[in-house]
Amino acid sequence: MREDADVETASEGYARRFAGPVGAFFLEVQTRLTVEALAGCSGGSVLDVGGGHAQTVGPLVEAGYEVTVFGSDAVCGTRVRPWVESGRARFATGDLLALPYTDGSFDVALAYRLLPHVTRWPELVREMCRVARRAVVVDYPTRRSVNAVADMLFGLKKRVEGNTRPFTVFDDARITQAFEGCGFTVASRAPEFFWPMAFHRGLGSAGLARALEGVAAGLGLTRAFGSPVILKATRD
């Protein structure tokens, strides 16, 4: 079966999870860490696999990157249409596990909100590594966080977020091995939040979220136990 986890991630319903001040805070942190991860690739070409809910397209275009969003279905291009119609980004569709590009076609391959929902995720990693000339950037929930008990907390998470879905929680070593097997080395890991995102959504206060995360970061808790992790792997 074709992997199509990006259809849900690209939907308007999923995008609403990042609406409002708390959602804006989440995307602000993600954007900052993404720009930092891409340091050294300024102005290069980026293949955004899945495209998420277009959360990275705007910031990357504004930062001067040449962005192509690739989705498993035409519906995944709905939220990136403004950039495509203005000629500031491209959109294409096809099989996520058989990208229609030659080896090293892009400087960077990026995928957010995708790896934890794809059944054959090692194949996705291999394809992204194949088409990436310089680096691959992904995000994933790590077992070194409260996600270690994600299954037990799933019911509570669903009551808070409404449209959440099951996801894979990864051991960092397993992700590292997948990239090393493709000739890539993990260059950086940047955990986003110490407290679960559902916890911040439940509280509903961006100010409180900033304060709590600021304290956790200052104590080193985020770096040690934060999730999701934005990982950058570079070609050997």
- Percent of the chain clearing pLDDT 90 (strictly above): 78
- Return phi, psi of residue 134, to 5°: -120, -45
DSSP run (H or E) holding 110: strand 106-111
124 has a pLDDT exceeding 80: yes
14 has a pLDDT exceeding 80: yes
Q: What is the 3-state secondary structure (H, E, C) of 18-37?
A: HCHHHHHHHHHHHHHHHHHH
pLDDT for position 42: 83
Rounded distance, CA 142 to CA 175, Å? 10
Mean pLDDT of the chain: 91
158 has a pLDDT exceeding 60: no
pLDDT interval class at 148 (50, 70, 90): low
Rounded distance, CA 2 to CA 96, Å? 8
Six token digits for residue 188: 């950086």
pLDDT for position 146: 67
CATH number of 5-235: 3.40.50.150
CA atoms within 13 A on the CB side of 27: 19
DSSP assigned state of 179:
H
Lowest-pLDDT range of 106-120, 155-169, 217-231: 155-169
165 has a pLDDT exceeding 60: no
155 has a pLDDT exceeding 90: no
DSSP assigned state of 63:
T
**For the chain, which residues make up each domain, given as ranges?**
5-235
Question: Residue 193: beta bridge partners?
Answer: 227
Instruction: State mean pLDDT over 218-224.
Output: 96
162 has a pLDDT exceeding 60: no
pLDDT interval class at 154 (50, 70, 90): very low
pLDDT interval class at 40 (50, 70, 90): confident
93 vs 157, more confident: 93
